[in-house]
Amino acid sequence: MQRSTFIAAIAAAAVGLTTLSAMARDRGPDFSALDADGSGEVTLQEMQAYAEARFSQADTDSDGFLSLEELQAGGEDRGRDRAQRVLARMDADKDGKLSPTEMQNARRDPARMFDRLDADNSGGISAEEFQQARAEARDRGSKPRNN
């Protein structure tokens, strides 16, 4: 029994670290979701309680572990939520669909992104430039941004 409690605590801590990382990248829960007592500060205990609640919510069979199926279901939920946010942000005419024009007016300008990736200004993106951009995005923990 102690072993499963220990494993659950480690998993909750990992979820908490992921939460901190996501917050640092402006993703994940908002401040008010973490500040359970409304004090204006998030304590370590509140962060741990939030992480434990997220773990429990994902552990749909309540066995104290997250199976591949449970992890996939959580990813699908996040994917659906993200798709809804993208549609709400980009659907200029609010018809519930994205047209090619609405897609072109997206926040990320392909020409700017291409120019940023083409580090040597050769007019093309080499394999090295492509790999460098992927490594930088991985290091940031997000997709390339238009800065």
pLDDT at 25: 44
Q: Across the 147 residues of the chain, what is the mean pLDDT of every consecutive 10-residue run? A: 53 50 55 87 87 90 92 88 88 90 70 83 86 85 52
Could you tell me which of 23, 89, 88, 86 has the C-alpha nearest to residue 54? Answer: 23
Q: Which two tokens stand for residue 20?
A: 């901190």
Could you tell me which of 39, 47, 59, 43 has the C-alpha nearest to residue 20? Answer: 47
Nearby residues of 97 by Cβ (< 8 Å), 6 or more positions away = 91
The dihedral built from the CA positions of residue 26, 32, 34 and 40, taken in this order, carries a sign that is: positive
pLDDT at 21: 47
pLDDT at 26: 46
pLDDT at 95: 94
pLDDT at 60: 93
Angle at 140 between CA 85 and CA 12, to 5 degrees: 75
